[in-house]
Amino acid sequence: MTLVSTSELVAGARSAGGAAGALNIVTLEHAEAVVAGAESAGLPVVLQISQNCVRFHGGRLAPLARAAVALAEASTVDIAVHVDHVDELAVLQQAGEVAGIGSVMFDGSRLPFDANVAATAGAVEWAHARGLWVEAELGEVGGKPGAHTPGARTDPGQAAAFVEATGVDALAVAVGSTHRMTTRTATLDHALIRALTRAVPVPLVLHGSSGVPDGELRRAIAAGIAKVNIGTALNVAFTGAIRRHLAAEPDAVDPRTYLAEARAAVAATTANLLATLRPPAGATVVSPSASGPGRTGSGGGEGGLGGEADRGGSGGGVDCDGDGDGGRA
């Protein structure tokens, strides 16, 4: 068990009738917590670093990405490292320079369809030449200012044309989830997920999953979702633990005391989430329309996210996760 490619994790989860959990990290403590939670659950996970998180770290991807790779290499479970929601060439280039990063999500969804196709195809060609598996987005996910509008949906015919024209390895689709949700009340369009699964030959990705209840997530996976992105739920757990610690000990100044509690909260949330995404016994796999899980560019009950994440509330602070980013995730 060690560092593996995102394509391996997604294909393995899908073939078993589950979905790969892709959890966004912001700090080293986030990364340590997600790995600890995955190891506790005995399940693989994708560590995701968003472009906005790179911006938060002064535009430098390498320090956090190399830490994530090191944690993956030392882990007792399979872990992949992914760079999420990239629309800047500089960040895409950095993703190709850090050894151990297995994939990138190129996000041209703000663009008109033809421009999105052209930009994504160029990114795919560049990334595949460097062994990177590429996810893209069509049909903006709700909950973001500007380009992201609630109620957006991905059209199956347009999705099929987009995948064919760009050569992407996975497709993030808009099916009813909303970014930055701190309560789990989203309802997904499962008929649309099934239609998209039939229409495109690559794995489907669900963004904005923090607000999706366990039952909805399981139904989405059964309908064909192969990768589930979570970020806001982790931040809610993280900041909630810090708030509780400082409320109880207002004179605390040693960050190790409250960061340890935040790390434990995120680890518990991670373990509960990954258990939700695990394939049920006797699961029936919904296969894409074409053979295989897609191209490769490189080798409990409701509320199961656990802890503070289930109780809602704002994550606060800088939101640079992949499912509730302050600008684009």
Q: Could you tell me the CATH number of the domain that includes residue 111?
A: 3.20.20.70
Residue owning tokens 């995404």: 277
Q: What pLDDT was estimated at residue 127?
A: 97
Instruction: For residue 271, tell me if it sits in a domain.
Output: yes
Residue owning tokens 């629309």: 87
Distance between CA 287 and CA 197 in Å, rounded?
7
Domain count, the chain: 1
Instruction: For residue 71, tell me if it sits in a domain.
Output: yes
Domain that holds residue 200: 6-311
Instruction: For residue 318, tell me if it sits in a domain.
Output: no
Write down the catalytic residue from 84, 87, 107, 323.
84
Instruction: For residue 79, tell me if it sits in a domain.
Output: yes
pLDDT means over runs of 10, the chain (329 residues): 93 93 97 98 97 97 98 98 96 97 94 93 97 88 42 88 97 74 62 94 86 81 92 93 97 97 97 88 53 36 38 36 41
DSSP-derived letter for residue 24 is E
Residue type, position 176, single letter = G
Q: Under DSSP, is residue 168 helix (H, G, I), strand (E, B) or coil? A: coil
Residue 239 near residue 262, CB atoms below 8 Å: yes
Distance between CA 15 and CA 234 in Å, rounded?
27
Instruction: For residue 328, tell me if it sits in a domain.
Output: no
Residue 169 near residue 131, CB atoms below 8 Å: no
Q: What pLDDT was estimated at residue 210?
A: 67
Residue 280, Cβ neighbours under 10 Å: how many? 11
Instruction: For residue 38, tell me if it sits in a domain.
Output: yes
Instruction: For residue 296, tell me if it sits in a domain.
Output: yes
Q: Which residues are CB-neighbours of 42 under 8 A, at least 6 positions away?
A: 77
| Catalytic residue status for 84 | yes
Instruction: For residue 34, tell me if it sits in a domain.
Output: yes
CA distances from 55 to 24, 49, 82, 116 (A): 14, 11, 16, 23
